[in-house]
Amino acid sequence: MAHEPTQEGLPETDAEWRERLDDDEYYVLREAGTEPPGSGTYLKHDGEGRYACAGCGLDLFTSEEKYDSGCGWPAFWDPADHEHLETRPDHSHGMVRTEVVCARCGGHLGHVFDDGPEPTGKRYCINSAALEFEEDG
């Protein structure tokens, strides 16, 4: 069952987020951090199911759209629901990129690039620490 975007029940303060998330999740989701390439739990993960936001549980991607892009982070060619993601310009680290955030909690997920496979041509490059996996069945 897909989780719908709503702010109800989410932490409102930094202290509440720190209590809810582990250190890696907090660094990525709340501080727009990036886990080291090749280190994420879900990089080589091949289970069948749904990837949700580790901050709020909103469904973000499915295993059907996951692929090995060679980028060092889990990659998806399309989200489970476009309304569950928001994008914004990111000019950090001397680069111009498009940041991907969770539409419900505003947590930083990663970035999207225009060098992915068909049919979308997109590569959603997402930090494992920003995700939780729920297996089908």
Nearest to 133 by CA among 60, 34, 73: 60
Count of C-beta atoms within a 10 Å radius of residue 48: 12
**Helix runs in 6-52, H state only:** 14-20, 23-31
**Given the residues 53, 56, 105, 125, the one annotated as active site:** 125
Name the amino acid, one letter, at 102.
C
| 102 is annotated as an active-site residue | no
Euclidean distance between CA atoms 51 and 53, whole angstroms:
7
List b or e across 109-130, with b for residues whose CB sees 16 or more CB atoms inside 10 angstroms: bbbbbeebeeeeebbbbbbbbb
Give the up-direction half-sphere exposure of residue 12: CA atoms within 13 A in the CB hemisphere. 3
Which residues are tagged catalytic?
125
